[in-house]
Each structure stands twice: as structure tokens, then as C-alpha cells.
């Protein structure tokens, strides 16, 4: 039985911010990463598509980087949203973060065909800047780890209309 995130922060983003190729629910061709709380940590679960190959049998590193990236911004949004008194599912629009930096260590070849689980630990650097440490597991084996510095989306990203 595959685990599933019930209340994901990406379900709550305003439509204008729901087009991300990694985690936007409105991007038909995207990955649709969904990130929620698991106790005091955050979790994203995703099974790569057959074409997300490095060498046949192993997952493409760029997909792992993408997972860690969107898991990072989603985790930061979850954390600031909770700090503001809200949880995903309660109908309040959450803050939207962008990635300032992304760092990934590829520890082991990551097998294809199984769900990947990204587990995040979030730390506030200041109210608009958060650090997310992420571990990615396949079959409970740690395959990659990463760090995202996420910042509240600057106005240069907002639609000009």
C-alpha cells in the first residue's frame, strides 16, 4: 500500500502560483510533488516515471534535485504557515517561497520503480528565509540528501498584470 500525503501545502497555493513544473497542481505535464507535515518534519512522496532514468534501473539525479528543491520550498511554506497559525487544509492561502540555493549530495544509486520519500527538517534563519535539510529514501535506504535555502517570493516574480 502506497503512502500518500493527505493535506499538502501545494493544494493551497493561489492559482497564479500553482504552475510550477515540479509542484504545481495546474501544470498538466509536471511532477505534482505534494508536501505535508509528518509530526515536526515534512514529507513528499513521489514515484519517478519510467523515463526518469540516469542509467537503466537508476533514477536521474536531476529528478532527485527537483524533488529536493520543491520539497524545500513547500516545507518552508508549511513552516511559515504554521508559525502564522495555519495548517494546510484549513483554507487559508499560504506564503509562497522560491529557492535561493540548492545543494544535493548523491550518496547511492537510487533504484527506479519504487516510491521515493523526502523527509525534511525546517529551520528559520529569519522570517523570510528558511533552511530545509532533506533526506531522500528509496526502500528505506538513504540515497540522497540536500539543503535548500528558501526565501519568501520577491515581488519581481509576481505577475505584472
- Residue 153's φ and ψ, nearest 5 degrees, are -55, 125
Angle at 13 between CA 53 and CA 1, to 5 degrees: 50
DSSP E strand boundaries for the chain: 35-38, 41-46, 97-106, 116-126, 129-138, 141-152
By beta-carbon proximity to a second copy, the closer residue of 7 and 27 is 27
Binding residues vs a second copy (CB under 8 A)? 16-17, 19-22, 24, 27-30, 51-58, 60-63, 65-66, 69-70, 98-106, 109, 153, 156-159
By beta-carbon proximity to a second copy, the closer residue of 19 and 86 is 19
Shortest reach from residue 25's CB to a second copy, in Å: 13
CA 87, distance to chain mean position in Å, is 16
What's the Rg (C-alpha) of the chain?
15
Shortest reach from residue 77's CB to a second copy, in Å: 14
By beta-carbon proximity to a second copy, the closer residue of 20 and 138 is 20
Please provide the size of the chain in residues: 161
By beta-carbon proximity to a second copy, the closer residue of 84 and 103 is 103
By beta-carbon proximity to a second copy, the closer residue of 82 and 149 is 149
Shortest reach from residue 93's CB to a second copy, in Å: 15
Q: In whole angstroms, give the CA distance from residue 75 to residue 130.
A: 9
- Residue 119's φ and ψ, nearest 5 degrees, are -115, 125
Amino acid at each position: 500500500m502506497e503512502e500518500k500525503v493527505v493535506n499538502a501545502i501545494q493544494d493551497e497555493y493561489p492559482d497564479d502560483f500553482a504552475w510550477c513544473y515540479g509542484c504545481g497542481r495546474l501544470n498538466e505535464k509536471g511532477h505534482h510533488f505534494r508536501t505535508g507535515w509528518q509530526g515536526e518534519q515534512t514529507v513528499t512522496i513521489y514515484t519517478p516515471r519510467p523515463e526518469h532514468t540516469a542509467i537503466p534501473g537508476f533514477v536521474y539525479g536531476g529528478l532527485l534535485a527537483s524533488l529536493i528543491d520543491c520539497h524545500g520550498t513547500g516545507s518552508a511554506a508549511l513552516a511559515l504557515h504554521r508559525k502564522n497559525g495555519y495548517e494546510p487544509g484549513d483554507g487559508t492561502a499560504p506564503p509562497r517561497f522560491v529557492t535561493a540555493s540548492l545543494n544535493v549530495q548523491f550518496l547511492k544509486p537510487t533504484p527506479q520503480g519504487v516510491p521515493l520519500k523526502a523527509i525534511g527538517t525546517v529551520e528559520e534563519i529569519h522570517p523570510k528565509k528558511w533552511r530545509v535539510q532533506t533526506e531522500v529514501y528509496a526502500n528505506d535506504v538513504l540515497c540522497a540528501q540536500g539543503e535548500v535555502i528558501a526565501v519568501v517570493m520577491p515581488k519581481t516574480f509576481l505577475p505584472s498584470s
